[in-house]
Amino acid sequence: MSMERREAALNDMSVLPGAGDLYIVASSSNTSDSLEVYEQYVRVDTNTNSQAFTLTLPPVSLAKGKIYSIAMDLAAGSALKIQDRDDSEDWSDITTMDLTDDAVLLFSDGKRWFTLSSEIA
């Protein structure tokens, strides 16, 4: 996590566009990121990235009761892979998000991630 994201969280403010959303721009030097528990609304831009981008969910036990909205903001054929920390029962990585506006809603019951909704073309 960047210092800017940590500082914004500690000060309960957002330094990123989208009214509190976490906005991640993938690049050749930025091919992965991990979410903190409080980062529940995420937009990913892979428009300028030719490589797949990997987003790791927070620990399933710490995210208990939370819903995470993850969407592609801009995409140019680069895939977004969403993975857990190998701490969820019966979880399969999501590897099919590769178009603008592809989105998923994920829920944690503390032991397992559930896909509540998926809009993937």
In angstroms, the CA 65 to CA 22 distance is 19
> Residue 72's CB: how many other CB atoms inside 10 A?
24
Q: Are 42 and 66 in contact (CB under 8 A)?
A: no
pLDDT at residue 6 in the model: 55
pTM over 0.75: yes
In terms of phi and psi (left: phi > 0; alpha: psi -120 to 50; beta: otherwise), the region of 90 is left
pLDDT at residue 96 in the model: 85
2 has a pLDDT exceeding 60:
no
Alpha-helical regions (H) of the chain: 3-10
What CATH number does the domain located at 24-119 have? 2.60.120
Question: pLDDT tens across 50-96, in order?
Answer: 788 999 999 999 999 999 999 998 877 688 999 999 999 999 999 88
Question: pLDDT tens across 8-53, in order?
Answer: 555 544 444 444 689 888 888 888 999 999 999 999 988 877 788 9
Q: Which residue has the tokens 């896909």?
A: 115
Confidence of residue 112 (pLDDT cuts 50, 70, 90): very high
What single-letter DSSP state applies at residue 19? T
In angstroms, the CA 17 to CA 24 distance is 10
117 has a pLDDT exceeding 50:
yes
- Integer angstrom CA distances of residue 37 from 30, 60, 101: 21, 9, 23
